């Protein structure tokens, strides 16, 4: 059975190759902004013509789709952006930039009309340099040549700092194919992310969860990242590294130095790079912790009960926003979902309003007087003393066992 999956590898480009990749990042940004500008101008013209009484085919057509945006780009770039043809840049990058912009506009309208689930999306925004450097190739234009080399059109053969044997071996036997590749820069380092379709049944069977593995309920929190209560009666507490909190002092000093440096100076460039490295380290530590934790849980638990948290609403509490964002609750649940599908586990999500913390696990009475500061509480009905997190994990487990 084939799965769609992403794999990221760090690149080791030469100075010349890094310069070319930087130019392609700029090209992608220019094309995306050109597409947005074209849509907005033609949309405004279209609406204005309606007020003049113009109808039918005489109205200005708005280029909503990727092919129509690409057609607009091909017509405009010889005059507006002559450096594109002169610079020997890849023609695949503008093509993908048009697709990205068209997809963003489509997602906006589907979200507005209720056809797209999840958070309401806004109108696409202008891309700025500070928003990140990236560009994308379609299909397998960018692909591994061997376990340590990647071929990038218009850039050349770029070495990687990581071994790609897992991917190249599957490409050779036909069990994996590349759907696209995105090159990204952060803090002076470069990565390529391959979007692949792969048959990973061999890996999934090798790590498939045992049939007699225990089920568990997981209560997520800030003091203790996760309290895991198993169906065999054991309880485990998982502590998060809190990488952002650990880096706050260094980030304050680095940002202070950046703010005090002169505009467009070498010291400012060094200070900006230092801030970028600190943020990259924070993201890497959080990503490593979440992947290791979710992989272990989905390989050792037959069923997992979790809360449905409204993270976007939770971060509106400004006293807790930093800690909530640092924990990565949403990413934790997202990874549990797809990894459980890989390894044969089940993820059950409680209703958002399920009172897991307020319900007594002994008598079932709901303590409506419980507040966030109460870490332990006594049930007014039966008098049992509860640890808030352990009680919530047990209630989640019981609710899942009753529902499944």
Q: Of how many residues is the chain composed?
A: 404
- In the annotation, is 307 catalytic? yes
- In the annotation, is 237 catalytic? no
Quote the CA–CA distance of 147 and 168 in Å, as a whole number.
Answer: 6
CA distances from 56 to 50, 65, 68, 201 (A): 10, 19, 19, 53
Q: Which of 32, 70, 96, 219 is catalytic?
A: 219
- In the annotation, is 351 catalytic? no
The number of beta carbons lying within 10 Å of the beta carbon of residue 188 is 11
* In the block, residue with structure tokens 């013509």: 49
Cα end-to-end distance, the chain, whole Å:
26
Alpha-helical segments (H) within 262-345: 266-300, 311-314, 321-327, 329-343
Q: Which of 307, 326, 331, 337 is catalytic?
A: 307
Structure tokens at 98: 């048009």
CA distances from 332 to 91, 298, 328, 329, 335 (A): 38, 12, 6, 5, 5
Query: Strand (E) positions, 48-124?
Result: none
Instruction: Specify the pairing of strand 143-146 against strand 149-152.
Output: antiparallel
Q: Which of 32, 72, 326, 389 is catalytic?
A: 389
Quote the CA–CA distance of 168 and 12 in Å, as a whole number.
Answer: 18
> Which residues are tagged catalytic?
219, 307, 389
């Amino acid at each position: 059975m084939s799965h769609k999956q992403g794999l990221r590898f760090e690149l080791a480009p030469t100075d010349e190759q890094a310069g070319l990749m930087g130019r392609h990042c700029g090209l992608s940004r220019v094309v995306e902004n050109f597409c947005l500008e074209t849509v907005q101008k033609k949309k405004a013209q279209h609406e204005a013509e309606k007020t003049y009484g113009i109808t039918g085919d005489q109205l200005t057509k708005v280029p909503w789709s990727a092919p129509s945006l690409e057609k607009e780009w091909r017509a405009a770039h010889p005059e507006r952006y002559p450096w594109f043809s002169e610079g020997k840049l890849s023609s695949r990058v503008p093509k993908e930039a048009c697709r990205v912009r068209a997809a963003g506009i489509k997602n906006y309208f589907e979200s507005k009309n209720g056809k797209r689930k999840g958070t309401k999306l806004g109108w696409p925004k202008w891309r700025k340099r500070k928003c990140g450097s990236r560009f994308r190739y379609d299909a397998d234009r960018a692909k591994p040549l061997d376990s340590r080399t990647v071929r990038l059109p218009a850039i050349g053969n770029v070495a990687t700092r990581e071994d790609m044997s897992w991917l190249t071996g599957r490409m050779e036997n036909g069990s994996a194919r590349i759907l696209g590749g995105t090159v990204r820069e952060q803090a002076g380092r470069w990565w390529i992310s391959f979007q692949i379709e792969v048959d990973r049944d061999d890996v999934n069977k090798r790590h498939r969860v045992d049939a007699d593995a225990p089920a568990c309920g997981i209560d997520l929190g800030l003091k203790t990242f996760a309290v895991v209560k198993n169906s065999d009666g054991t309880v485990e507490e998982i502590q998060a590294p809190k990488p952002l909190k650990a880096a706050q002092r260094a980030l304050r000093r680095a940002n202070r130095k950046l703010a005090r440096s002169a505009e467009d100076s070498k010291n400012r460039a060094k200070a900006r790079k230092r801030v970028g490295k600190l943020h990259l380290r924070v993201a890497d530590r959080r990503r490593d912790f979440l992947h290791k934790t979710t992989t272990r849980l989905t390989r050792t638990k037959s069923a997992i009960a979790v809360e449905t948290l409204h993270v976007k609403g939770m971060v509106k509490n400004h006293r807790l926003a930093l800690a909530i964002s640092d924990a990565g609750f949403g990413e934790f649940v997202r990874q549990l979902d797809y990894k459980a599908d890989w390894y044969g586990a089940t993820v059950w999500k409680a209703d958002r309003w399920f009172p897991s913390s307020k319900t007594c696990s002994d008598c079932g009475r709901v303590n409506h007087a419980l507040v966030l500061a109460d870490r332990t509480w006594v049930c007014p009905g039966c008098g049992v003393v509860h640890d808030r997190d352990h009680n919530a994990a047990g209630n989640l487990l019981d609710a899942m066992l009753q529902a499944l």
